[in-house]
Amino acid sequence: MIESYFCPRVVVRLRAGPEFGVLEAFLAYLHLRGHSRATVQRYVREAEVLLRSLRRQRRPIRSLTEVDVRRFACRRRRRQHPRSDCRAALRHLIRHLRERGLIPPKQPSFPAHIERIVAAFDAHLRDVAGLASATRLYRRRYAGDFIRSVFGTKPIHWARVRPTHVHAFLAEYGRTGRVAAARVAAVSLRSFFRWLQFNGLGDKHLSAAVPCFRQWRHATLPSVLSDSQYRAFLVTFDRTSTSGRRDYALAVCMGDLGLRVAEVAALMIDDVDETATTLRIAAGKTRRGRILPMTKRVSQGILGYLRRDRPRSADQHLFLRHHTPAGTGVSRELIRGVVRRAFAKVAGCEQHTGTHILRHTAATRLHRAGADIKRVADILGHRSIDTAASYAKVNLDRLFAVALPWPTAGEVQP
């Protein structure tokens, strides 16, 4: 089978390596999943480079872990263009090796006794606090890391936790310059200690021992794309292909309407009202649903995709995958990869990797077009008008209109 995917020269090279048996089985796994020929070639190539790296380190395949994959993918990304192929390929490799029993099953993030506490804390965040899954992910991680840093594998006795443990845990982030991570860790620990107090565990003063990281509101400007950069960004999508037109529709939903990546991934067919040209956004992070009018560009992108390009599928998500596994809803990771690769093609945007800059761009363009801050907040789904106030600082034309003129030398009175 390998001869049908690679030229004779590459086949000879692969057969000469000690990893050939693993690579051949991995290729058969990808073939059965229905991946395209080009995708199989890229994925096998990434697997070959990783396995060769393990051989140079004199490490057996059985020692391969997700941590190794993450570090390897980061090194590859620094050397190449931003792309998700490497990490996606190695995720499939890890899954395939586990199915064959060549590497051990995935270990839980924390020991069992810590995992039980973290699971109970997560249930409280989900069922009582009503937090979004992404927020709960961070709070689970930092709560578990803190417990492990204090007790390790020993039994947990909450009475032994002291403020010095809290300060030492957060100080580790300061030593490595990860101030933003320290801020998120502090919020997570404060939430965890309040949950312990709610359940009658631990010192009731522990939450007060968590330091506050001062973050002045509106101290910085949000990163936005200029009008020319945004136009160049939209031009990067190949609108001659079905997946390219889908990606274009995804992009204008974020760049014109300011949708979050999770909101785009969660859109359903029934959310599109073709007659009224509106789009219903389900309640998400802020638990506030809203109905938005579609701009001409958004309407053309979505309706054109629905009529011509959307694969036939029982899945009711608006945007679907066009490749393996075809017919299923797109994930947030897929959308982030689409946007990241488009940014890499726009001059001055190569450093951008997240999707939130499109949300900032949409808010800024709305404000420049004459929408007041209240309307911008309503469109973005902000619960507080203060959250959207920072976009007023980016509108330099309006700031020039309200700013007082600088006095010249002859106008200043002694």
Of the residues 42, 285, 290, 345, only one is catalytic, namely 285
Would you say residue 215 lies in a domain? Answer: no
Of the residues 92, 321, 367, 382, only one is catalytic, namely 382
What string of H, E and C letters represents the secondary structure of 346-399? CCCCCCCCCCHHHHHHHHHHHHHCCCCHHHHHHHHCCCCHHHHHHHHHHCHHHH
Task: Give residue 352's pLDDT.
Answer: 86
pTM for this predicted structure = 0.68
* 171 and 150 share one domain: yes
* 255 and 169 share one domain: no
pLDDT digits (tens, 9 = 90+) for 256-277: 998 999 899 999 999 999 888 8
* 178 and 327 share one domain: no
What CATH number does the domain containing 156 carry?
1.10.150
Of the residues 43, 142, 173, 391, only one is catalytic, namely 391
Q: Single out the residue of 94, 352, 82 nearest to residue 233, CA to CA.
A: 352
* 72 and 158 share one domain: no
* 356 and 239 share one domain: yes
What CATH number does the domain containing 323 carry?
1.10.443.10
Average pLDDT, the chain: 84
* 124 and 258 share one domain: no
- Assess whether 218 carries a catalytic annotation: no
Burial (CB < 10 A; 0-12, 13-18, 19+), residue 89, is buried
Give the pLDDT band of residue 109 (cuts 50, 70, 90).
confident
End position of a domain, from candidates 68, 99, 130 = 99
* 306 and 343 share one domain: yes
- Assess whether 356 carries a catalytic annotation: yes
- Assess whether 391 carries a catalytic annotation: yes
What's the half-sphere exposure (Cβ side, CA atoms, 13 Å) at 371?
A: 18
End position of a domain, from candidates 54, 77, 99 = 99
* 264 and 391 share one domain: yes
End position of a domain, from candidates 99, 131, 165 = 99
How many Å is the Cα radius of gyration of the chain?
26
Q: Single out the residue of 231, 236, 262 nearest to residue 338, CA to CA.
A: 236
* CA distance linking residue 330 with residue 176, whole number of Å: 35
Q: Is a pLDDT exceeding 70 seen at residue 217?
A: no
Would you say residue 161 lies in a domain? Answer: yes
Would you say residue 413 lies in a domain? Answer: no
Mean pLDDT value of segment 195-217? 83
Task: Give residue 409's pLDDT.
Answer: 55
Would you say residue 222 lies in a domain? Answer: no
Of the residues 92, 139, 190, 260, only one is catalytic, namely 260
| Residue 264 three-state SS | helix
Lowest-confidence pick of 117-131, 299-313, 337-351, 395-409: 395-409
* 341 and 233 share one domain: yes
Kindly report the length of the chain: 414
Would you say residue 279 lies in a domain? Answer: yes
Domain extent at residue 275: 227-400
- Assess whether 98 carries a catalytic annotation: no
- Assess whether 345 carries a catalytic annotation: no
Of the residues 352, 359, 360, 367, only one is catalytic, namely 359
Would you say residue 357 lies in a domain? Answer: yes
Would you say residue 412 lies in a domain? Answer: no
Q: Which residues partner with 320 through β-bridges?
A: 329
Of the residues 356, 368, 393, 398, only one is catalytic, namely 356
Q: How many domains does the chain have?
A: 3
Would you say residue 192 lies in a domain? Answer: yes
Output the DSSP codes for 12-60: HHHHHSTTHHHHHHHHHHHHHHT--HHHHHHHHHHHHHHHHHHHHTT--
Task: Give residue 82's pLDDT.
Answer: 47
Task: Give residue 77's pLDDT.
Answer: 67
E strands of 229-369, at which residues? 272-273, 278-281, 290-293
* 92 and 123 share one domain: no
* 49 and 93 share one domain: yes
- Assess whether 157 carries a catalytic annotation: no
Mean pLDDT value of segment 61-84? 74
* 195 and 281 share one domain: no
